[in-house]
Structure formats: structure tokens, C-alpha cells
Structure 1
Amino acid sequence: MAGDPAPVYQPNLGVTEVFARGTDGKLIHVYRGEDLKWSAWDAIGDWETAGAPAAIYQPSIGVTEVFARGKDGLLIHVYRNEDLSWSNWSVIGEWKLSSDPTVVYQPNTKFTEVFGRGLDGLVDHTWRKPDLSWAAWDAIGTWKLG
């Protein structure tokens, strides 16, 4: 493991999942089921990440989502399909991040919101809209982070 782990509980499956960046840069994953036994670690796709992933269970669509910063600084995203397979990685927008992403589910709006530090030091933000597309990135205020 080459970074901090990101745990999440997936109530639809009754499992605790842990995600991290492997020493080869790929997203790795392990889970513990209701039998309390841990699975073997495995890689999800071939995309190389930079830094720690962020994981969240999104109850309004019933999926576990994982976000990471690609080696090119772009926000990348993968999620578990209903058939328990993993989606292909996708890029969300064209803004580059200089930090690991953070994510929160907002139950009042049913939005998944993602935050990160942009190359200009500002806090950047995007969210999943009700039609499941992603909003354009925007900076929050003018305060720059170090």
C-alpha cells in the first residue's frame, strides 16, 4: 500500500470495503463480509492514481463510488455496478487537482459532492446532478490553500 486507506460501509451488500493506492499506483480493494472474513486484495482496473482515494456509499443510487486523482491531476471515478462488477474508470471534468479529493453525500439534495485543491490553490468543487451527470467544476471563494 502506498497511501492511506479509505474505508466505506456498503449496506446493500452488508460489507465493509477498504480502498487504497497500491505500490504500482493502481486502486486496490479488500472487503469483509457478514461472515467477518476479509477477501484477498485485488486491483480495480488499470488506471494509475496519485495519492489517496476517497470512497463513499451513495444511497440514492445504491452504489459505492471511489474517486482519485489521476497521475495527470484529473479527477477519476469508478463505481460498483448492480451486478457487483466495477465500472470502467471515467474522468470528471477537465480541472486538475493538486490534492487528493474528498467526498460527501448530501442527503437533503441526494448529491454526491467532490472537493479538491486546484492548481491555483483554490478549493474546487463538483457534484452529481439529479440526471446523474456531473456539474461543471467551480472554485469556492478566493481563499487559497497552502
Structure 2
Amino acid sequence: MNKDNDAKAVGAVAEGWKLVPVEPTEDMVIRGFESRPDPVFQPEHWDAYEQMSGCQQSAFAARLCYAAMLAAAPPAPVQPAVQGWMPIETASKDCVFRDGGHQYGPHILLSDGWSVVRGRWWEHEGGASNFLQDGGRAYFPSTWQPLPSPPTSKQKEQENG
């Protein structure tokens, strides 16, 4: 899995789950300590509570505390998705492939303002370097963007009807 896919996966949260800070906020801690049973907690529930062992009562109190802390958790920050064309100076030049004295960066979309091509950064151990479009020709882009994600099998099925 690459960094782009990892970033996309971070935003996915399964139903019944919630992203929370690694370190609880002060508000979360206070709400947890101040948690009390729900006002709907009826006297007949107190009888059951009083018959619980000390560990069961502690677990019950811990669940109340946990629920209060989750309710007080701030929403997860939204990381802006990389969209649109970015200055070529910000494109990755990290090596992802070596071939003898040649080093290549990840495939990306490149544009010189007139055309759009798939290409990557290239460096030779002798010091030469440039962006190359597929086929190995030098390309002089001014902007770039990541390649789009490939279609999922479900998307392919929908397109094929």
C-alpha cells in the first residue's frame, strides 16, 4: 500500500466506530469523571446494579465514563484531499524504482499548460535529471497531480451494466 492509499484509508470509519484523539481532550476527561447514570435509569435497575460484584459495578461505571468521553470527543480533523494541479516544484522526486544508474520517481500526471501526459521524475547517477513522459522523452511540465485511483471491481460492473 502506498502513502496515497494510506491517506485515503484514514478517512474511512466503520459504522459504530468513531475517530477520537490519541490523547483525550480536557473536556473529554472532565465529562468522563463527571459521568452519571442516565436519568432513565430506573430504581429496578439500581437493584440489579447493587447485586453486581465490585468488578461488574466498575465495568458499568467505566462504560458510562467511556460513553461520556466519546460524546465529548471533537470531530476528527478533515485532511483536504489533493485535488487539482499543483506547482511542479512540489512533485515527488523520491526514488521508487532503480535500473542500473537510473532512478525513477512515482508515475504522476504532468502538464506544460498545453498537454497532459503520464510521466515521472528521472535521475542518472552522473547528475542528469528531468521529468520524463512515458516512452522516455524529456518533458518540461509546470504543474502536476497524482494519478487517479483505478476503478474498483464494483465500479467496473456498474459501467458494464
Sort the TM-score into its range (normalised by shorter chain).
under 0.3
From the two aligned structures, give the one with the greater strand fraction: 1
Structure with bigger gyration radius? 2
Larger RCO (alpha carbons 8 Å, 6+ apart):
2
TM-score by length of 1: 0.27
* Structure having the larger proportion of residues in helix: 2
TM-score by length of 2: 0.25
